[in-house]
Amino acid sequence: MLGNFEYCNPTKLYFGEDSLNYLNTELSKYGDNIVLIYGGGSIKKNGIYDDVCRILKDNGKNVAEISGVMPNPTLEKLYEGVEIARNHHADLLLAVGGGSVCDYAKAVSVSVNCQEDPWEKYYLRFEEPDCETLPVGCVLTMVGTGSEMNAGAVITNHETKLKIGHVFADEKVMPRFSILNPKYTLTLPHYQMVAGIYDIFNHICEQYFSGEDDNTSDYISEGLMRSLLHSSRIANKDPQNYEARSNIMWTATWALNTLVAKGKSTDWMVHMLGQSVGAYTDATHGMTLAAVSLPYYRYIMPYGLAKFKRFAVNVWDVDPAGKSDGQIAEEGLKAMESWMKELGLVMNISELGATEEMLDGIADGTLIMEGGYKVLDRDEVKEILKESM
Which are the contacts of 169, defined by CB distance < 8 A and separation ≥ 6? 128, 151
Which helix (H) or strand (E) element contains residue 378?
Answer: helix 378-387
CA atoms 168, 169, 173, 178: torsion sign:
positive
Nearer to ligand NZQ by Cβ, of 151 and 318: the residue is 151
**Contact region with Zn ion (CB under 5 A), list: 67-75, 191-199, 259-267, 315-323:** 191-199
**Contact region with Zn ion (CB under 5 A), list: 3-11, 193-201, 293-301, 344-352:** 193-201
CA–chain centroid gap for 188, Å, is 16
d(CA 380, CA 376): 6
Q: Is 72 a binder of ligand NZQ (CB under 6 A)?
A: yes
> Residues 115, 99: contact at Cβ < 8 Å?
no
Interacting partner of 256 out of ligand NZQ, Zn ion, none (Cβ under 5 to 8 A depending on kind) = ligand NZQ
Which positions from 172 through 231 interact with ligand NZQ, judged by CB under 6 A?
184-185, 187-188, 192, 196, 199
d(CA 334, CA 223): 20
Taking the complex as a whole, how short is the minimal distance between the CB of residue 341 and Zn ion, in angstroms? Answer: 20
Of the candidates 11, 52, 97, 162, which one interacts with ligand NZQ according to CB under 6 A?
97
Taking the complex as a whole, how short is the minimal distance between the CB of residue 233 and Zn ion, in angstroms? Answer: 21
Based on its alpha-carbon atoms, the radius of gyration of the chain, rounded to whole angstroms, reads: 20
Taking the complex as a whole, how short is the minimal distance between the CB of residue 93 and Zn ion, in angstroms? Answer: 22
d(CA 307, CA 208): 8
Which positions from 296 through 355 interact with ligand NZQ, judged by CB under 6 A?
none
Taking the complex as a whole, how short is the minimal distance between the CB of residue 60 and ligand NZQ, in angstroms? Answer: 27
Q: Is 101 a binder of ligand NZQ (CB under 6 A)?
A: yes
Taking the complex as a whole, how short is the minimal distance between the CB of residue 139 and ligand NZQ, in angstroms? Answer: 10
Which are the contacts of 242, defined by CB distance < 8 A and separation ≥ 6? 182, 183, 186
Nearer to ligand NZQ by Cβ, of 201 and 373: the residue is 201
Of the candidates 199, 218, 330, 331, which one interacts with Zn ion according to CB under 5 A?
199
d(CA 275, CA 362): 9
For residue 15, give the 3-state DSSP assignment: strand
Taking the complex as a whole, how short is the minimal distance between the CB of residue 104 and ligand NZQ, in angstroms? Answer: 9
Nearer to ligand NZQ by Cβ, of 279 and 328: the residue is 279
d(CA 86, CA 108): 10
Q: Is 147 a binder of ligand NZQ (CB under 6 A)?
A: yes
Residue 152 to residues 105, 159, 363, 385, Cα–Cα distance (Å):
11, 22, 23, 25
Of the candidates 11, 14, 103, 174, which one interacts with ligand NZQ according to CB under 6 A?
103
d(CA 57, CA 118): 32
Taking the complex as a whole, how short is the minimal distance between the CB of residue 256 and Zn ion, in angstroms? Answer: 7
| Chain positions contacting Zn ion, by CB under 5 A | 199
Q: Which residues bind ligand NZQ (CB under 6 A)?
A: 39-43, 46, 71-72, 97-101, 103, 141-142, 144-147, 150, 152, 154, 165, 184-185, 187-188, 192, 196, 199, 256, 271, 285-286
